[in-house]
């Protein structure tokens, strides 16, 4: 599945400032498709998950596994920054398998489904 987003006009700093309570996810990995018809994906956060309270990053928190419909996730996007190339992982490294990495702009969304906490890697 290849998705390309043009992005929005917000910034990461503005999205954090507009958040009363939430999580700042800086990296996800081990993304796998659970249900190809509903576009449900599973994966884990890694190397940078932070609690945001009253518009400020307040502390680091434990990683988690998520199960999320990509369609629902995109319906819940409230703000998005301009597009930027994300770090390529696993089989999607730059130039391998015909892929050029992943591109998904930072965004502010609500109602991500956390399925479990993950031990530190």
3-state secondary structure 24-41: EECCEEEEEEEECCCCEE
- Angstrom distances, CA of residue 21 to CA of 32, 40, 110: 28, 25, 11
For the segment 5-25, what is each residue's pLDDT rounded down to a tens digit?
Answer: 778 889 989 999 999 998 888
Cα–Cα distance, 51 to 16 (Å, whole number): 10
Residue 75 confidence (pLDDT): 87
For the segment 60-106, what is each residue's pLDDT rounded down to a tens digit?
Answer: 999 988 888 888 888 888 888 887 665 555 544 444 444 444 556 77
Token look-up 């089989």 returns 91
Give the SS3 label for residue 62: coil
Q: How far apart are the first and last CA of the chain?
A: 27
Residue 83 confidence (pLDDT): 75
- pTM value is 0.74
């Amino acid at each position: 599945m290849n998705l390309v987003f043009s992005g929005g006009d917000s910034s990461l700093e503005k999205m954090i400032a507009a958040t009363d309570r939430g999580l700042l996810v800086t990296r996800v990995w081990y993304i796998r498709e659970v249900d190809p018809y509903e576009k449900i994906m599973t994966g884990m956060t890694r190397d940078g998950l932070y609690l945001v309270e009253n518009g400020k990053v307040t502390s680091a928190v434990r990683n988690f596994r998520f199960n999320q419909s990509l369609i629902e996730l995109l319906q819940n996007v409230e703000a998005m920054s301009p597009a930027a190339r994300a770090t390529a992982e696993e089989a999607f490294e730059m130039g391998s398998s015909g892929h050029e990495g992943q591109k998904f702009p930072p965004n502010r969304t609500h109602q991500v489904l956390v399925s479990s906490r993950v031990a530190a890697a």
